[in-house]
Chains A and B, each alone.
Chain A
Amino acid sequence: MSLQVEALAKRFGATRALDGLELAVREGEFLALLGGSGSGKSTLLRLVAGFEAPDAGSIRIAGRDMAGLPPAARPCAMMFQSYALFPHLSVAENIGYGLRRAGVFSQARVEELLALVGLAGFGPRRPAQLSGGQQQRVALARALARKPPLLLLDEPLAALDAGLRAQTGAELRRLQRETGTSFVMVTHDQGEALALADRIAVLADGRVAQIGPPQEVYHRPATRFVAEFLGAANILQRPGATYALRPEQLRLVDGEGLAARVTGIVFRGEGWMVECLADGGQPLRVSLPAGAIPPVLDAAVMLGWDDAALVRLGA
């Protein structure tokens, strides 16, 4: 295991940021920690990196217990959300900072890292002279310099323009594969998590609500929270059980179905999202392909689905 977290707890005043969290990250794995604000995902990263001490529980990196170790003594490296590049040092000095501290500085290694992130020749510049995307890559090279077994990434794409995000995400994925480093990436963006990660851990109230490969977490949500947080599923209450139903699994049908009225229509580029209110008072979202002709507002429609698409939810 690259990272093993057991029964981790941390409170700030009256709020429980982490509440008995368990997590295991495999070697060479890209894990996304997905959660809303206040879910404890950033706290987890700061505890693993050693900036805060846990109230209870243990953290092991590559099998070693981290209790009491300062950040400098931990084998993991962190890439900060706003990059935290040292403004008074050049790009090369930023990348070489960790190498110097470990006494393994070499100009060749710095050049190698610059080339790895596609910034060969940028060494003498200052961080302020780079674009946001370039700064992001310097931060990545700096964190990877000492070949840490585990890299913690705090919202690595959040500060980038939407257009740059997909491309940079793919670049992250490539670097993770090439270096074989375990990545633990904190994000609030489900698209990012689904696209990049080997596994996704959804955090809620200081615990892991569900962990698994993206397809599994998306299609078989374990709890109502996961179902609503990922892909905004419809929640159906049936006697004795609660089910999730993805908007894309619902269809407008001509014959038998659930009678409903259209209350809203939103065009989203890749398709339409039609908001309906079923006769029993149940709100339902239906997603239609972009080529479809959507119903008009207030129209009476019939909704249908395969019962196989219903996912039974835990508590």
Chain B
Amino acid sequence: MSRVVLWLGLGFLWAPVLLMAGFAFSDARQPFVWGGFSWRWFVALAGNARLLEAASLSVLLAAGAATLAMLAGGAMGWVLARQGAFRGRAVFGALAAAPLVLPEVVSGLALLLLFVALERLTGWPQGRGVLTLLLAHASLGAAYVAVVVQGRLASMGPLLEDAAADLGANAATVFRTITLPLIAPSLAAGWGLAFFLSFDDVVLASFTSGPGATTLPLLLFSQLRMGATPEAHALAVVMLGLAVAGLCLWQIWLRSKNRVS
């Protein structure tokens, strides 16, 4: 029974994606219509300067937001797992988890209102653009990184760090030689998650982005409200290809790492 549901569920998840990708190779001008095989929409996609510009902005933004989120979220996870019962821990924990569950519309509105209020009070940040977008995405990503890192530290326990301290390492050395190498995979996973969240975000970007900072999802959202275009079909193929390639590279890296150690 559960296997039947599993394959049905996977079919449901994949059907629109595969259909989307399949019709990318159709010559027809309308989406989801077969008009014979053609590469023309990939050529059109490669020549779409606006889309490429938005995509490169999205990649840079996602990388920056993910890096910021990794640093902030890593610190949050470490504080939650290793600082014991300090004053205000409950509030700290609730604030760290809040972006995970707050409806995006509320988060987006709240961040925008904050940026406007800050600009009024201090003159910074000037208007909305890449910087505000970066902060908004980093604040969402940091919450995810914190969960991953906290989980890793909790399952690891304090024993290894105690052992290092016992062998004469001071707090900074314990962190550099023991804690950091052991949570590095979690930090990397958190970075990837934060990258994806930023790269896929429409709602936070709608609130906190300004003129001149149009991300790929924002551009697509404005263009695709009425449904897919043939170029969007081609883009779906590209994205799917990149994701599969990334997954394969990761697998190969895992295999080679396991063989070495």
Contacts and interface: CB of A to CB of B under 8 A. Distances in A.
Interface residues of B, number: 17
B168 A101 contact: yes
A255 interface: no
A280 interface: no
* A contact face: mostly helix, strand, loop, or mixed: loop
Given A72-B168, A77-B167, A101-B173, A126 B261 contact: yes
A51 B170 CA distance: 13
B110 interface: no
B159 A142 contact: no
Contacts of A146: 167-168
A99 to B, nearest CB: 9
B169 A84 contact: no
A38 interface: no
Contacts of B169: 72, 97, 101
Given A86-B178, A88-B181, A98-B168, A78 B173 contact: no
Contacts of A72: 165-170
Interface string B160-184: 1011111111100100011001100
Contacts of B182: 87-88
Given A77-B167, A126-B261, A146-B168, A71 B173 contact: no
B26 to A, nearest CB: 51
A14 to B, nearest CB: 17
A87 B261 CA distance: 11
Interface in A63-110: 70-72, 74, 77-78, 80, 82, 84, 86-88, 97-98, 101-102
Interface residues of A, number: 24
Interface string A182-221: 0000000000000000000000000000000000000000
Interface string B201-223: 00000000000000000000000
A49 interface: yes
B159 A84 contact: yes
B181 A97 contact: no
A80 B159 contact: yes
A78 B261 contact: no
B251 to A, nearest CB: 21
A51 B160 CA distance: 12
Nearest to B260: A126
Contacts of B162: 51, 71, 80, 84
Contacts of A80: 159, 162-163
B156 to A, nearest CB: 9
Contacts of A101: 167-169, 173
